Amino acid sequence: MSGAADGRGGGDRLPGLESRLFDIPEDKFIEVVRLLERVRDHPEVRQTFAAIRPRLVQVRPNRRPTLKRVLCMPFEDVLESFSGLDVPVGRIERRVIDPVWRLVTECGDRALIDRLDRQVQETAPGNLNALRNIGRRLWPMAAQAIQGAVGGVGEPDTGGQPQWRVLQGDEEMRRQLLDVAAFLEIGLTVEALKDALAPKPLAALDDLHVDAIEQAAQAVARQSAGLVYHLLLVAASRMANPADLLTVLNDLDFGKARREQPAIFAQLSGLVVTNLEERSARLESKDGGKDWGEGGGTGHSAGPGGAAAFAPEEAIAIAERLVAGIDTTSAAMDVLADPAYRERLDAVKVAVRTMVSGTVLDTAPAGILTAVPAPAANGRPAPVDEDAQAAAEDHARALRRCEGLAGALGLREPLKDTLVSMEIGLMARAQALLADYSKAAGDPDDAETAEMNLFYALRLLELVAGPAKADRLRTAIMAATGEFAEE
Amino acid sequence: MLKGAIEYAPSTFEERGAAVAFTTPLLSQTRVRCGERSKLEVLIPSLSQGMGIYVVAWKSVPDMVSMTMHDRYLHDLIVKEEACSPYEIRRATLRAARRGLAGPKAAQAARRALDEDDEQGTLTHYLLILSILKAVGLESPEMLKAGIDTDEGQRLTRQLMTRAAESLRMDATLLYARLADIASVTAPVGLAHSPRPGRLTRGLNDLKGFRDGMIDWARDVPSDAAPVAEFCAEVAQHTIAIGEKVLGDFHRRIDAIGPLMRDWDDAFIRVRTQAARMAWLLDGWSHITGAWEVAQAEDRQQQAATVNDLFRILPLLPRRESSRDFVEDSKQVKMAHRRSVRMLEDWRTGQMDIDAIRRIEAVKARAP
């Protein structure tokens, strides 16, 4: 990893390595990650880790355990994701991790930290029980250290304390540090709940999940009623649609926190709405989400010149998640009868509708129709462009998936109009190719190319209008090519 | 048209039929066979979650089920070619996919597969020539050096093969004809010493990976689908055990190429039967192993759904091929299976599930 002696060679080599790390097989990738971890303190290696984070998130190799990583375990589910799209409810920003670590190491029990650090180094990657045992001693101490350091902060005359060097007067940072302290305080219960709410993300809550949340809430309530809210944040973050938690919340018995239950529900509901607003606000970000932090987006998100923020299918997937969240939240919050929430949810819906219209409907002519080539003037068929075809098929699928959202977003008519216009446009282009087919039929290569163009147009028509309507074109193509003529 | 649900317990591979890689979810991996009076029939399992198998006249399928454009084309092609062996069905499937009707990626994969078939045929032919020459003690470094694709190499090969024919006491034309027959039978399986294993040998290796994957998944992911995954692993293991035996026997016979050439009538029939048996044994598995590979990038819920989907199309061994009654065993698993299985598209309304079609096409792009 050291590269050339002058240091420049190393700098040249690692970026090359980064790109290769996206292509190599998974087992090799894990092997390389293990090797890099041995020298992870090297700045270039840290940079490499940042660059390959999307694949790390995807492959999730058992990373070499560190005490810092153990410290983060109780709040890892609420850490903002690297993809930048799905914001966890009540999220903790990643920029908080280093200050948390510094506070704990500066204000915490140094001897205990050193002892636990040695134990972590002897622990095999993936030995979760051993790491939790270490956490059992680390988390309460760390929670106390953070609360002691920033819990009472607010006076400028404490500026000489380490906490102020860390916070630099950042009130949002302080709030998040206190949230981290709360998660650490209930660390063991959180870890047990994570096992019960696995695998993440949970598509739906079943009875066993609900029982586990209730028992964990009761256990935390015995510790402190105020901490139940934080436990529920973890539960919400482990769900595909965090708003689903709201639908079961009022049926849970919080034990000693029973009195606080309505307040917790209101607090969590508000946070779910804020979370939906935050996610919809990111949709409107014209620069493709570069403000989401490192590694944001999936590669489709930033169009040239910041035009289309998402690929059509990606846009539909995001819209589906948000609409599901809006519907569930809306139903669950009827009990609060607060018109302000309704308005805020409607505003989220408008943002989603705008995104879907702009990314899927308005761009359909350019995204779908142009994949079918016009007949060339020289009589020879246009070459087949399979990349353009693949992109057009993705767009057509997104259009069809839009049918499931159109009602909720008030897009039924615009979608219907778009589908009809695509059907007419594709049919017209296919007919033009068909009319031109006889010119290519004499040359086997030209005939094959012309037939491929026709079959690809047929496929787009099938995706947009369904097999029944496409079948008429298929019959016409087969009649023109004479492939199954004897029938 | 529809004979009604029947108990599905085929005795032979031919009765079980060959799997067709349709993209319509309801028809995916349904089996086609030659029925009475050589009429093609299709066997549709678990129609609307039923327990039986429906036997439908092949020509009636488009009237019963709303099919994708790819499947209409493939259906017509199978009718035209009266295809019903795994080899014929596979060739028809590749030709349909090559047209682009299952998407550009499946078209590219089909083109690659057809090219590979040709290359494998040439390679096998070449290796068999070397085997024959070696068997009669005519190994020629000059020929190897010149290479079979050069004029000089071909002249040397012709010369040596004429001498080999003399040594085997047969006409050179006959030797070439028999060589072509063996090569066409052997290419899909591959020779034991071939630098590139044949398609069916690779399929057997993929099946081992699938078996291990199912065992690991059933252990690591406790869910309703775990017993289903265990059953899939058992069926795969049983198929592997038979496949390895057939493969070993096949390679031994091909390796003894001298006796094969001399005792042609009986020996070639045996070799051809074994190659066909390999093809039947692995028929339908490439879609399953490919689907499981695709599912590796998905979450566990989707993987559980895939396990259940694969169970529905599992190529259970016919009664005459195995001492174990897998049909009966599968009924036991079905109770767990029915609780978690996803509904297929509604075959009565003809609504297409574009996500399900896309998943099938993704497999086709990977394992054509």
**How many domains is chain B partitioned into structurally?**
1
Contact B100 A456 (CB under 8 A): yes
Q: List, in order, residues 6 or more apart from A363 with CB less than 8 Å away.
A: A308, A312, A395
Among A168-172, A331-335, B259-263, where is mean pLDDT lowest?
A: A331-335
In a domain, B347, yes or no: no
In a domain, B345, yes or no: no
Mean pLDDT for B50-55 is 68
- Burial (CB < 10 A; 0-12, 13-18, 19+), residue A171, is exposed
Dihedral over Cα of A78, A79, A80, A86: its sign: negative
In a domain, B263, yes or no: yes
Contacting residues of A for B352, CB less than 8 Å apart = 466-467
User: What pTM value is reported for the model?
Assistant: 0.76
- Computed over every residue of chain B, the mean pLDDT equals 86
In a domain, B23, yes or no: yes
In a domain, B329, yes or no: yes
ipTM of predicted assembly, 2 dp: 0.87
Torsions phi, psi of B264, nearest 5? Answer: -55, -55
Contact B103 A393 (CB under 8 A): yes
Q: List, in order, residues 6 or more apart from A45 with CB less than 8 Å away.
A: A1, A14, A36, A39
CA distance A341 to B86: 61
CA distance A369 to B134: 60
User: For residue B200, what are its two tokens?
Assistant: 């069916």
Contact B104 A393 (CB under 8 A): yes
Q: Among candidates A146, A144, A225, A139, which has minimal Cα distance to A190?
A: A139
Q: Which domain holds residue B116?
A: 13-338+354-366
Q: Does A41 touch chain B (CB under 8 A)?
A: no
Q: Enumerate the H helices of chain B as residue ranges.
A: 13-16, 61-64, 69-81, 86-98, 104-135, 141-146, 151-167, 172-186, 199-220, 226-255, 257-262, 264-282, 285-295, 300-312, 326-340, 354-366
In a domain, B344, yes or no: no
pLDDT tier at A111, thresholds 50, 70, 90: very high
Q: Enumerate the H helices of A441-466 as residue ranges.
A: 444-465
Q: Which residue of A has its CA nearest to B67?
A: A467
In a domain, B222, yes or no: yes
Q: Which residue of A has its CA nearest to B63?
A: A468
Predicted local distance difference test score (pLDDT) of residue B10: 82
CA distance A273 to A333: 10
Percentage above 90 pLDDT, chain B:
52
Interface of A with B in 381-420 (CB under 8 A): 384, 386-387, 389-390, 393, 397, 400-401
Contact A463 B354 (CB under 8 A): yes
CA distance A284 to A273: 17
pLDDT digits (tens, 9 = 90+) for A243-295: 889 888 888 999 998 988 888 888 888 888 888 888 887 776 643 443 333 33
CA distance B279 to B202: 12
CA distance A366 to A395: 10
A37 vs A449: which has the higher pLDDT:
A449
In a domain, B149, yes or no: yes
Name the one residue in this structure whose structure tokens are 């454009």: B69
CA distance A413 to A189: 50
Q: How far is B344 from chain A (nearest CA, A)?
A: 17
pLDDT digits (tens, 9 = 90+) for A328-357: 888 877 766 677 788 888 888 898 999 999
pLDDT of B97 strictly over 70: yes
Contacting residues of B for A393, CB less than 8 Å apart = 103-104
User: Strand locations in A114-169, DSSP E?
Assistant: none
Count of Cβ atoms closer than 10 Å to residue A14 Cβ: 19
Predicted local distance difference test score (pLDDT) of residue A459: 97
Rg over alpha carbons for chain A, rounded to the nearest Å, is 28
